[in-house]
Structure 1
Amino acid sequence: MGHFRVYTISDVLARFRRMKGYEVIHPMGWDAFGLPAENAAIERGVPAADWTKFNIAKMKNQLERMLGDFDWHREVTTCDPEYYKGTQQIFLRLYEAGLVYRKEAMVNWDPVDETVLANEQVDDEGKSWRSGACVEKRELEQWFVRITEYVQELLQDLCRLEHWPSRVIAMQRHWIGRRTGVEISFASANSGDLITVFTSRPNTIYGVQYIALSLSHPITEQLAEKDSTLATFIRTARYLPPDSKDGFRLPSVIAKHPLTKECLPVFVAPYVLDDYGEGAVMGVPAHDSRDKSFWARNMPCLSMKKVFSTSNSEGDIENDILNENCGEFSGMTGKAAHSSIISKLEEMNCARKSTQYKLRDWLVSRQRLAVVPVPRSDLPVKLPEKIAISQRGSSQLAKVADWVNVKCPKCKRPAKRETDTMDTFVDSSWYVMRYTDPHNENEPFSADKASKLLPVDIYIGGVEHAILHLLYSRFVSKFAARSGMWSGGETPGHGEPFKRLISQGMVRGKTYTDPDTGKFLKPEEIDINGPRIKATGKKPNISYEKMSKSKYNGVDPTACVEKYGADSTRAHILFAAPVSEELEWDEEKIIGMQRWLGRVWRLTTSASKRMGPTKLQISNLSKREQMLLRELHITIKECTAILSESYSLNLLIPALTTFTNYLIAEKSEKLGPNVQYHLVETLIRLIAPIAPSTAEECWEALGHKESIFKANWPNSEEYIIEWKESTKCAFQINGKMRFVMDVPIELVDKMDEVEEKARNSEQGKKWLQTMEGKELVRVVRVEGAKALNFVFK
């Protein structure tokens, strides 16, 4: 149902824009490589390609049954060789630009899926984003893309994304993690070597009580060669959680405080990141909660050294006062001491200002089959077909001898293909560009077509994409713009791919659990009249949770459409919750949408029996008809604003049902035939993007031969909404405004009389006399008596 929700939203917006006269690209594609496909193939003992094709066909059928109006001629599939040929070409462009490299690195290893994960694919608890397994650290030779080369653009250009949700902007800004601070050198008291730490809080330097090194710091590795106890600690520490407080004190290393000259113990600590600064941090237990926990574990008998008058941990140190432990800086505020301490350390040649980023280079190599092979010969390098994958692991491609063993394309001697494959996020990072030119056989996409059609006006996707797909897409798009693959959009050189981002919330399913055992219950175990557990008669616990097979709370969109109809299901999914919020799926409430659409059909049937001209004579309307026309135009204005400005799509249904109820309350015989016809016909146009099937049937019943989607979206008229005694009409000569006159509201649709009134007015006579001797070619009349333009030559 999550897919049903996102594609309903996109389909409604696409249909609306088309009715507004826009040329709309509403494409569909399949991000078809990756772990889910491969793991499912393993479980079923079938080739991943076969399983993927089966599921694409199944989902395509679902999308068609939900009445999605997609541009199928632009369809792309990431596991199609013609698509991943483009992925390989982009990879080679990155390589040629010096943005791809290979190195031995400590990487995140998923022990369940048996593959490497990027940092972005490990959650805050150190677990895999896909399998949920606790991620291990391993040292392997891997391929990386230098996304950090674009770190400043990725951060600075967030301010250009004014139509993105603020929480997504905040998530990307946090992940990029810019920190300004200072690198401070602590001399080793026994060797003279320097240990350089990075800190964003130099005003806490007088509280430093230890230095902590990462597991791969040069000093750590050097000492581990001679100290077997340290080497053992390093090996075991790699499997500890990221927030571990374990430490190993280096007995032979003492650091000297640059200001107090105190001797500080040096530890090896798993919590220190290898690539944060130079892999070393200063420990301030009294003013950092993590340092406090580490100090309590490793130096439990020693007190903490406070340097602020009141702050015990990570409080407001900027406005706190440095205490007597801070030498010449005692009595200063934390804010003042920040710059003064840096200046002092710079004078001593012990520090330099520095900017650090949390973002790390993109690890793109994977050890799986169902992903893009890293290219090493003619493109596309195609995956071997019809492989029934028997197990997870890193050697699936390596086992296919006739694929691995090839001739070197340069020297023609025997060689082996690279068996690492690319992260599937490389595929999805550029698919929007492929949509602009989906059948290009020579290059990923034409620069001209991409430059004409990009950036994407509206992108709809869950917030879970914030620091994966969306960040990678921004990077690849910026690289493509910088390398001339497209112009870069409305701000040339910046290459932002998405102008507006709509992040829909998750769909959660109704979940039943046994109050005694906590066991999840299947729907068929529940008597919904109550509800009660059939076996025990007890009332079950009911909650709404993420849909999953284990919780028996999943919903098949096809079954829902078969039961209630696509239109009712679409309307309900829009109405049930604001777009950005989670939706608690309760299909029993869809009946309300069925009843509403049934009322619309009855209104149509009534209007079709009294068909009349759709052109209204406003001057002949009764007060009640004027009121209904005014309510119609208020509804048009509200729906148009929702679909083009606020995107609060859950408010569409109340607006339309309210107007439907206005019409239902009116006895048809009290309305003129043309009035009833006009009101109902316009209502049908308004519901068309939401309920296309119902709208088409109603449209045909009203005597139209072409599809309703050939009709225009209705416009609201302010003079009808305001409904004054008169409206303003501009009098123009050859396009230049001469004066404005009042026109009685009953004349707005009688332009002959409006023109006559204008000609006979004092102002009209005066201005027309100035054109004596010139030929009046025509009089341009703007409907609604908005303007008259007398064209002379």
Structure 2
Amino acid sequence: MSDSKNTIETAAPAPADEFSPGKWETRYTPSEIEPRWQARWAADPELYGAEPATSGKPKYYVLEMLPYPSGQLHMGHVRNYAIGDALARYMWMNGYNVLHPMGWDAFGLPAENAAIKNNTPPREWTLSNIAAMKRQMSRIGLSYDWRNEVTTCLPDYYRWNQWFFIRMFERGLAYRKKSKVNWCPQCCTVLANEQVINGYCWRHEDQLVEQRDLEQWFLRITNYAQELVDDLSKLGGWPEKVRTMQRNWIGRSEGAEVTFTIEDAVHATEDEHPTRHAGTAVLPANEGIKLIDETVTVFTTRIDTIFGATSIQLAPEHTLVKQFAKSNTKLAGEVATLLEQQTKAREAGDVGAIEKHGVFTGHYAVNPFNNERIPIWVGNYILLDYGTGAIMSVPAHDERDYEFAKKYGLEIRIVILPRRGVDSESGQDSDQMLPYTAEDSLLINSGDFNTLGNEEAQHKMAAFAEEHKFGTAKVTFRLKDWGISRQRYWGTPIPMLYCEKDGIVPVPDEQLPVLLPENIAITQQGGSPLAQLPEFLNAICPKCGGPARRETDTMDTFVDSSWYFYRYTSAKDGTAPFDTAAVAYWFPIDQYIGGVEHAILHLIYSRFWTKVMRDLGLIKNDEPVERLFTQGMVIKDGAKMSKSKGNVVSPDDMIARYGADATRAYALFATTPDRDLEWQEAGVAGVSRFLSRVYRFVMNYKESAGRKTSAASAPTAASQVIQRKLHQTIRKLTDDFGGRWHFNTCIAAIMELVNTLIASEAAIAAGEVPDAVLADALRSLILLLAPFAPYLAFELWEQIGEKENLLRARWPKYDEALAREDEIEVPVQINGKLRSVIRVAADATQEMLRDTAMADEKVKAATDGKQIAKAIIVPGKLVNLVVK
């Protein structure tokens, strides 16, 4: 089988003598064929329609991620949609009831910015873009059921965003708090953690994100953190890369929380060097040391190393730090510097690589395991929103702590060593191995816990802490609650009211949707433009009837895309977000297709939303997607094809030159779907030439398709060659659709089949190929081509006299004996010089070897214009052509 690197040459123009005289008038003209079929398809809204659940057919829900309506598709979109379209068509042809819908992720900042730039209302700009992109999709020939189209910026959709929000508020899953948030100066709005990529805005790759304190609405996605981790094991049909990305983002850490008591450090002053009082000391028993009424709790995944803790380190914004700094102006100034360093590092997205700085607070904590007095420091690398905002520093067994201790001269004490060769009471001659962080180790210098393995020690020490009421086993997550407030206009209004008497009050269901005003002045200044509109802002409290103020923030647009695929099952339902019976039939999605860049944002949010809807009693499935496929990007000029990079290739231009079938087939042919595709227009031209060959061959022999029966006769060598290649091709495509999705080799296999048919023309003219064999080959060829080039397939299907709807015609079956790939490689020489190597069946006859050799592109090129005087064929060994 040809690989993706060399199959383009298969589509080279046919030699002038390839077809019989008088047949060249049969021309392939996609500019005439495709618009005619486009009009016929558009006139039949049932053609791509999903059937009711009562159809009795097995269901198949195939879906590509919905696009943002930017106004123009590019070849990156076409590639994504062509994959889903080929699969949908294949499943229809295999007797499935297929749901293949499309919609628009229509809210969002780009529309708002375009409105400012072009003085066009966002709604008008968005809907005009949708109309333009829908026309493009129709021209490409995508098989969407437009009866269930979803547009997220229309009230019939975002009403249900608001309804869901209120249900979450009622269950305590939606709440408001003041929090440090990510602010993009260009977007003039808050970003969720997941929308900050290495410290930069996900929409503006050159814009560092700032940290601000704002009142925001959050959704408690952390309530589902454990389930989101656990259920990754159910997603066997997802790429391991995506599951790993989600697992790492959720960041489950199993450990313990330990509470240290704070000692009032009466001996330290502002003017003394902090490290002079930063050492550790064991407190004398029963000496009445005065303790302040405070504690500090740390989270650790390595409680087994707690005897090696030689300091406590706090985040600069920790409440204890603020308390300590109240009466210590020098400390306050130093902490402000640390916070500034951390903020810059966070905005740069690289806190882990920050140069570590710290300051001693002048206070000490008491290690509850050994009653030891250890200093409390503030570190610029300790984050308030990770764990408890405080850590126990164990320099001997943590790389970060080791670096800090070396810098500030803090004690480094070894408390774990490898299981082999351990002196249980000392760590002499072990400094060279520091920091030693391996988990498979034994404890030393750890009191009653000496000689325990680390895993056993972790369980026993957590239990000891819980028994003595200064600690407990604990699981924490890196995942934070989802901040959904956006200080922009073009989004779903948050359906909440603020009343002086009744506080925060949800809008009653009967008053939904809270409509987004259409005539409004939009600016890029901080704060939502809705706050400047009195007729929107001022409302009546549904509880007391008094004046109330509307929430003016709008929802993050990832809310829209978290559940849209449920709405597709009953998009016109005006009484509920979706019909629960329809969802029960169609879900989970059988195949979801989209970019890996959505692994964290959209795919985690949609999993969370599914679990919330399940707990609301609306659905029964735990996960929305059974199988996920992440396609590669289309690359041009060394970068991902995108409008922002100015390197897009319009499918309209390609369709005008080569036709829609060639454009979409090239997107599938150039490489495997999971790999990046380097754009080459010459490849589209090559596929177009191949489709021309298909058209000409079928049209030249279409009369044979009407003669499906013929008198029984012994199989000829020519008919055996055709049948073997045909059934091998059917098996190849059937296997690939069911597994690897190597559509490039599927199309290459069809090309090889066409080569075999064309190479058999002389035998056909000589009557060596029965009509039944040729008719079967023509019919099967069209069926195999249909998922990749539907316009041409529909045209040829009609030309050969078939009346059945091609989309519902059954996919061809292969004969196992004929499809057997017991192939060997046979060298082909021309005048004794090696020209090519062909693959043939091990039992291939001399005639089959000759025909296969003559169909080989390299052989054809070498013999072009020459006369073959003799063919010396040794079955299984050699083909040598003597030419003049």
Aligned to 1:692: 790
Matched, 1:318 2:428: no
Separation in structure 1 between the aligned mates of residue 749 and residue 486 of structure 2, nearest angstrom: 50
Aligned to 2:397: 287
Deviation at 1:80, TM superposition (A): 0.5
Aligned to 1:709: 807
After superposition, give the CA deviation of every residue in 1:264-308 in whole Å (9 maximum; x if it has no partner).
2222334333343322112233432333444455x1x45644445
Q: 1:609-688 maps to which residues of 2 (within 5 A)?
A: 609-615=703-709, 620-667=714-761, 668-669=764-765, 670-688=768-786
CA change 1:236–1:663 in 2 (3 A) is: same
Aligned to 1:496: 623
Separation in structure 1 between the aligned mates of residue 743 and residue 148 of structure 2, nearest angstrom: 27
Aligned to 1:257: 367
Separation in structure 1 between the aligned mates of residue 748 and residue 341 of structure 2, nearest angstrom: 58
Residues 611 and 677 in structure 1, CA contact (< 8 A), matched pair in contact too: yes
Aligned to 1:221: 322
The residue type equivalent to 1:687 in the other structure is: L
Separation in structure 2 between the aligned mates of residue 472 and residue 164 of structure 1, nearest angstrom: 16
1:101 to 172, 175, 200: 175
Aligned to 1:207: 308
Deviates more, 1:650-659 or 1:273-282: 273-282
The residue type equivalent to 2:141 in the other structure is: L
Matched, 1:506 2:609: no
Aligned to 1:278: 388
Aligned to 1:407: 540
Separation in structure 1 between the aligned mates of residue 646 and residue 172 of structure 2, nearest angstrom: 50
Deviation at 1:613, TM superposition (A): 2.7
The alignment's TM-score, normalised by the length of structure 2, stands at 0.73
Separation in structure 2 between the aligned mates of residue 32 and residue 127 of structure 1, nearest angstrom: 24
Query: What runs of 5+ residues in structure 1 fail to find an aligned partner?
Result: 489-494, 512-543, 725-793
Deviation at 1:616, TM superposition (A): 7.3
Aligned to 1:467: 600
Q: 1:741-756 maps to which residues of 2 (within 5 A)?
A: none
After superposition, give the CA deviation of every residue in 1:202-257 in whole Å (9 maximum; x if it has no partner).
23323323222224433123334445555554463563313144555353321223
Q: 1:482-493 maps to which residues of 2 (within 5 A)?
A: 482-488=615-621
Aligned to 1:480: 613
Residues 672 and 741 in structure 2, CA contact (< 8 A), matched pair in contact too: no
After superposition, give the CA deviation of every residue in 1:372-416 in whole Å (9 maximum; x if it has no partner).
110133211111103352324323111122221223333333322
Determine helix, strand or coil for the equivalent of 1:498. coil
Residues 108 and 118 in structure 1, CA contact (< 8 A), matched pair in contact too: yes
The residue type equivalent to 1:676 in the other structure is: L
2:296 to 186, 189, 195: 195
Separation in structure 1 between the aligned mates of residue 402 and residue 619 of structure 2, nearest angstrom: 51
Residues 728 and 820 in structure 2, CA contact (< 8 A), matched pair in contact too: no
Residues 102 and 148 in structure 2, CA contact (< 8 A), matched pair in contact too: yes
Determine helix, strand or coil for the equivalent of 1:696. helix
Deviation at 1:312, TM superposition (A): 4.2
The alignment's TM-score, normalised by the length of structure 1, stands at 0.81
The residue type equivalent to 1:579 in the other structure is: P
The residue type equivalent to 2:440 in the other structure is: N
Aligned to 2:154: 80
CA change 1:80–1:568 in 2 (3 A) is: same
The residue type equivalent to 2:116 in the other structure is: I
Aligned to 1:170: 244
Query: What runs of 5+ residues in structure 2 fail to find an aligned partner?
Result: 1-74, 265-290, 418-429, 497-506, 823-884
Residues 171 and 467 in structure 1, CA contact (< 8 A), matched pair in contact too: yes
Q: Quick one: higher RCO (CA 8 Å, sep 6+), 1 or 2?
A: 2
CA change 1:286–1:680 in 2 (3 A) is: same
Deviates more, 1:171-180 or 1:252-261: 252-261
Q: 1:428-467 maps to which residues of 2 (within 5 A)?
A: 428-467=561-600
Matched, 1:37 2:111: yes
Count of aligned positions: 681
Separation in structure 1 between the aligned mates of residue 404 and residue 655 of structure 2, nearest angstrom: 57
Residues 245 and 269 in structure 1, CA contact (< 8 A), matched pair in contact too: no
CA change 1:618–1:459 in 2 (3 A) is: farther
Deviation at 1:609, TM superposition (A): 4.0
Separation in structure 1 between the aligned mates of residue 644 and residue 518 of structure 2, nearest angstrom: 33
Matched, 1:67 2:141: yes
Identity among equivalent positions (%) equals 43
CA change 1:549–1:373 in 2 (3 A) is: closer
CA change 1:329–1:385 in 2 (3 A) is: same
Aligned to 1:364: 484
Q: 1:42-191 maps to which residues of 2 (within 5 A)?
A: 42-123=116-197, 125-132=198-205, 133-190=207-264, 191=291
Separation in structure 2 between the aligned mates of residue 631 and residue 578 of structure 1, nearest angstrom: 23
Deviation at 1:41, TM superposition (A): 2.2
Aligned to 2:662: 568
Deviation at 1:106, TM superposition (A): 1.6
Separation in structure 2 between the aligned mates of residue 126 and residue 459 of structure 1, nearest angstrom: 29
After superposition, give the CA deviation of every residue in 1:505-544 in whole Å (9 maximum; x if it has no partner).
12111x2xxxxxxxxxxxxxxxxxxxxxxxxxxxxxxxx2
